[in-house]
Every structure is written in structure tokens, then in C-alpha cells.
């Protein structure tokens, strides 16, 4: 099993208390009694607080024991009590045999990857030398392991940071959508449906009143999981590569799946039940290319300009193009090349990832066909932050199994998280049209 960090638990506790206060304050402001649903919600939140506080107390004790052990190891090192081949945790060095001499994708430093790899070897593979290394450097107790065969394994802080950073770097939707931390499995966020109306009253005439129309968008969490497998025959000489490989594999898989749901989701279980841009946008938010422009290689400048013209103009909006790289080179880059005036240096450097004055973001879950693909959405334009929300109820947790791939002598590593996706501004009118699509012609 995995254990949350104290900071996460304190945040969860603060969110529960804040939510209880918000419910009560709203009832007071509206001068009414609490509804049955509100009473039930407050009771649920109140009942969860002792459990959260108990978890905080337990994790603080674990942290205190871990710190005490680390301090003891450092003191021993300063006193010369540690063996010659053992270093205090504050001065860990990556031995030459484990160095990779290349830039790592997952980790900021080789040292972080080395620590994570040693813990993986010790707690997943039962490697004796790695277990001794962890014990000597004060990491064993910090793992809080139980029976590995049952799936007990806690990631290191270094691996957790790497998982989150890699996923955010890889995932387009998580980078650009409105990110919402969730204090419950289902929450609602406010959205403006229509503004108040302004009038020109005559002299001495009564001013006509109008209301701001508000709506709600629901974020309902679903569990996302991935499973990867690695060889059980790796040793400590490959410790950095082990950590890099496992972390990168899990982070990339999770990021790609979220993007697939956010851009292509149709509401089925294949996409976690989420409806993505492809199926959420109203017909008014989709620009159909001119007749005959049935693929990326035939789209013309007018098609893209008309797409930009469909989006609502919001002050401070961060408009971007979202497109597969293959489609970009077959359409946008082709049109820029055709503009003429290129020098040898221009062709060598290649086009800037910008089109019609707006940045281009590659979204590899979108269609990649460059030939004829009639009635297909090939790109989106707009500001995801204004039109879509990404909720996070629980960040990544990992579990391990040494039995699942027993016959192939492999070890399975599973990562899970609880997230939500909602495309809430679907573009039926210009007021709620912060993102639009360009679809190829039907013929």
C-alpha cells in the first residue's frame, strides 16, 4: 500500500474544514436552514476529520523516526563510526559503475535516480547489497514496506517528484486546462452562462434590472491506472537506468491516457467515461474546411483564418493551436513555406512553432493522417484554461507485484491516480466559445 505525505493530509484536512464552513456560511447568507444534503455533507466531512488527524499523527511519527535515523547516520559518519565504503545520506555519491553519462529525462540529477533505483532494487527485487545500502543510509525505514508480493511499496520523494514533473511535461491537457484540486470525489465549479444586460434609460426613467446567469460544471473523479513490467535480473550496476525506465514509463502512460480522454473521449469506459473535445464541442464551435479540402495536405490559409475568427475574444486569453506534429508539417508548415522569401538559413532552422501569430502545441493523441481524411477534426484553437477543467483528487500511488509475471521472471509495477476531466464550455454561442475546431471537408 502507499502512504500520503503529511503535507497532503494537512491539505485534505484544511479543505474539509473549509468546505464545512462554506456550506454553513452560504446558508447564513441566504437566511435559511441547512438542507438535508448539506447536513449529510457536513456530517460526512466531520466524521472524516478524526481519521485524517490520526493519519497525520502516524506519518509525523514515521517522519520523526526517519529523521532520527538519518541524524544518527550522519553523526556516526562525522565520528568515523561508519565503514569506509558507506557515506552519510547527505553526501551520497553515484559510483562510476552506475553512472550513465547522459542527460536523464525523469530526474533532475543522477543522484536522485540512484537513490530511487537503490530503493527499487532493495524493496522490489530483494537485492541484498541494495538493502544494506538503504539501511546504512537511513532509507529503509522511510519506505514503510510490507509484503512485496501483496503489493506493498512506497515511492521515494525523488521518484514522486519525477513522476509528477514528467506527466505534466508530457501531458498537454494537464498543462493548459484549468487545474482544480478536489476535496471530494465529486465537486461543482461555477461558470458564467450570460452577463448582465446594460440599457440606455431615458431621463428619469427606471433602470431595467437584469441578472447574471450562473451555471455549474461537475468534476467527477475516475481512477486511472497503468501497469508496466521490468526484468527481475537487473543489478545495482544498472540502478540509475532502472529508476529512469520505471518512472518514465509510468508517467508517460498516465499523461497520454489523460490527453486521449480529454481530446478524443466519447463518454465510454475506454476513456474513463469522460467526453473530450472531439465529442463535446457544439457544431457552432467547429469550422468546416472549404469544399475539396479533405486532408491536412489540402487545407488552405482561409480554413485556418476562419477557425481563428470563430473563437470568442477574451481579454488575457492564452490562445494556442493544438495539433498532431504530422498534421502541422503537412498543413501549417507547408503554408508558411509557400509564403516565399525563405533563405538557406531559414530552411535550415525550420519554421517557428507558431502560426498566424499564435503558438502551436503538438498533441500526439490527435489524428496524424496527412492524406485524405474527410470530416475529421485535425486541430483545435483557443484557450483550454477557459473552456476545460482538470481535477485532481489523489496524485499517483504505486503498487508492486512479483507474482503477476512469474512465468516470465518479470515484476509488475502499477501506478494509479484519481482525476476528473470536464469540457464545460462547448461553444453553442460566442459567449462560451473559448476553443474551436477545424474539421476537414466531407468531400
Tens-of-pLDDT digits for all 443 residues of the chain? 344 567 778 888 888 888 888 888 888 888 888 888 888 888 888 888 887 887 787 777 766 766 665 565 555 544 444 444 444 444 576 666 566 655 665 565 667 677 777 776 676 556 677 777 777 766 653 333 333 333 334 445 556 666 666 666 778 998 899 888 888 888 877 766 666 678 787 777 888 776 655 566 778 888 887 766 666 555 445 556 666 677 777 788 888 899 999 999 999 999 999 999 999 999 999 999 999 999 999 999 999 999 999 998 877 889 999 999 999 999 999 998 887 767 666 666 666 688 999 999 999 999 998 888 889 999 999 999 989 998 888 766 666 565 555 565 566 667 778 889 999 988 887 777 899 999 999 98
Q: C-alpha cell of 19?
A: 468546505
Q: C-alpha cell of 351?
A: 519554421
DSSP string, 236-254: GGGHHHHHHHHHHHHHHHH
Cα–Cα–Cα angle for 406, 234, 107, nearest 5°? 115
**What DSSP character marks residue 432?**
G
Q: Are 359 and 365 contacting, i.e. CB atoms less than 8 angstroms apart?
A: no
Q: Are 185 and 220 contacting, i.e. CB atoms less than 8 angstroms apart?
A: yes
User: Domain 166-194+212-443 class?
Assistant: alpha beta
Instruction: Mark out the alpha helices in 210-355 (DSSP H runs).
Output: 239-264, 277-280, 301-310, 325-330, 332-337, 344-349
Rounded to whole angstroms, how far apart are CA atoms 409 and 27? 60
Residue 375 CA, chain-centre distance (Å), reads 30
**Extents of the domains making up the chain:** 1-85, 166-194+212-443
**What DSSP character marks residue 290?**
P
What's the whole-model pTM score? 0.62
Neighbour count for residue 131 (Cβ, 10 Å): 18
Neighbour count for residue 35 (Cβ, 10 Å): 11
Rounded to whole angstroms, how far apart are CA atoms 254 and 164? 10
Cβ partners under 8 Å of residue 259, min gap 6? 171, 172, 173, 363, 364, 365
Rounded to whole angstroms, how far apart are CA atoms 26 and 166? 40
Cβ partners under 8 Å of residue 4, min gap 6? 12, 55, 59
Cα–Cα–Cα angle for 408, 409, 411, nearest 5°? 105
Pairing of strands 435-439, 286-288: parallel
Cβ partners under 8 Å of residue 373, min gap 6? 294, 295, 296, 367, 440
Amino acid at each position: 500500500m502507499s502512504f500520503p505525505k503529511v503535507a497532503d493530509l494537512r491539505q485534505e484536512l484544511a479543505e474539509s474544514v473549509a468546505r464545512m464552513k462554506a456550506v454553513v456560511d452560504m446558508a447564513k447568507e441566504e437566511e435559511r436552514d441547512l438542507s438535508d444534503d448539506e447536513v449529510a455533507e457536513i456530517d460526512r466531512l466531520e466524521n472524516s476529520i478524526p481519521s485524517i488527524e490520526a493519519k497525520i499523527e502516524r506519518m509525523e511519527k514515521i517522519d520523526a523516526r526517519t529523521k532520527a535515523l538519518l541524524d544518527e547516520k550522519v553523526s556516526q559518519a562525522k565520528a568515523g563510526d561508519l565503514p569506509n565504503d558507506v557515506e552519510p545520506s547527505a553526501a551520497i555519491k553515484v559510483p562510476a559503475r552506475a553512472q550513465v553519462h547522459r542527460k536523464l529525462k525523469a530526474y533532475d540529477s543522477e543522484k536522485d535516480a540512484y537513490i530511487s533505483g537503490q530503493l527499487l532494487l532493495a524493496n522490489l527485487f530483494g537485492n541484498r547489497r541494495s538493502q544494506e545500502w538503504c539501511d546504512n543510509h537511513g532509507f529503509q525505514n522511510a519506505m514503510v514496506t510490507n509484503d512485496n508480493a501483496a503489493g506493498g511499496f512506497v515511492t521515494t520523494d525523488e521518484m514522486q517528484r519525477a513522476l509528477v514533473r514528467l506527466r505534466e511535461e508530457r501531458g498537454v491537457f494537464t498543462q493548459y486546462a484549468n487545474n482544480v484540486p478536489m476535496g471530494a470525489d465529486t465537486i461543482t465549479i461555477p461558470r458564467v452562462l450570460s452577463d448582465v444586460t446594460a440599457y440606455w434609460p431615458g431621463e428619469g426613467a427606471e433602470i431595467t434590472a437584469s441578472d447574471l446567469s450562473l451555471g455549474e460544471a461537475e468534476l467527477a473523479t475516475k481512477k486511472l491506472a497503468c501497469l508496466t513490467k521490468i526484468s527481475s535480473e537487473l543489478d545495482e550496476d544498472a540502478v540509475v537506468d532502472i529508476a529512469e525506465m520505471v518512472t518514465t514509463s509510468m508517467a508517460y502512460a498516465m499523461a497520454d491516457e489523460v490527453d486521449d480522454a480529454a481530446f478524443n473521449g466519447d463518454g465510454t469506459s475506454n476513456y474513463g467515461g469522460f467526453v473530450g473535445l472531439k465529442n463535446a464541442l457544439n457544431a457552432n464551435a467547429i469550422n468546416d474546411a472549404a469544399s475539396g479540402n479533405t486532408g491536412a495536405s489540402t487545407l488552405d490559409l482561409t480554413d485556418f483564418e476562419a477557425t481563428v475568427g470563430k473563437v470568442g475574444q477574451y481579454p488575457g486569453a492564452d490562445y494556442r493551436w493544438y495539433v498532431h506534429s504530422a498534421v502541422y508539417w503537412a498543413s501549417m508548415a507547408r503554408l508558411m513555406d509557400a509564403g516565399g522569401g525563405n533563405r538557406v538559413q531559414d530552411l535550415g532552422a525550420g519554421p517557428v512553432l507558431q502560426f498566424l501569430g499564435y503558438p502551436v502545441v503538438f498533441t500526439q493523441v490527435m489524428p496524424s493522417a496527412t492524406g485524405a481524411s474527410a470530416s475529421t477534426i485535425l486541430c483545435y484553437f483557443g484557450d483550454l484554461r477557459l473552456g476545460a477543467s482538470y481535477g485532481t483528487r489523489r496524485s499517483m500511488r504505486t503498487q508492486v507485484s512479483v507474482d503477476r509475471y512469474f512465468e516470465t521472471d518479470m515484476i509488475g509495477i502499477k501506478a494509479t491516480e484519481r482525476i476528473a476531466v470536464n469540457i464545460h464550455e462547448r461553444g453553442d454561442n460566442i459567449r462560451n466559445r473559448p476553443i474551436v475546431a477545424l474539421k476537414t471537408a466531407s468531400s
